[in-house]
Amino acid sequence: MTRILYVEDNEDNVYMLTQRLTRHGFSVSIASDGDQGIDMARREKPDLILMDLGLPSLDGWAAARQLKQMPETKDVPILALSAHTMPGDREKALNAGCDDYDAKPIDFERLLGKIDALVRKRGAP
């Protein structure tokens, strides 16, 4: 079973996406901010991280940079999820260490395709 860490502070988004991912056979853990996401990623070693970029305290860009610098998490793919859809936001996320980017509102089928591609590339179950 593919293990996903979803770092998101909006409870409605967490509920909706967690329910849909779980129904598709993923195991989902939730972190509500960047600091908690880093701690959980180090402890749980997920197969993939879904990272909201607009987080309280430590934002998703900073969290992604830190995760990619740590030996125990540097190889975990990070898929940025953001309502930031201005020109350059995708590049900013990729420059922060995210492996891919998807805009909110989520197109679930497109998201599943991106998750599958990242997990397969890493060789996770």
Average pLDDT over residues 109-119: 96
Average pLDDT over residues 64-69: 97
Tokens 């922060």 — which residue? Answer: 96
pLDDT for position 122:
76
Average pLDDT over residues 69-95: 91
pLDDT in tens, 24-56: 999 999 999 999 999 999 999 999 999 999 998
DSSP symbol at 71: T
pLDDT for position 88:
84
Closest CA to 84 of 49, 50, 54, 114: 54
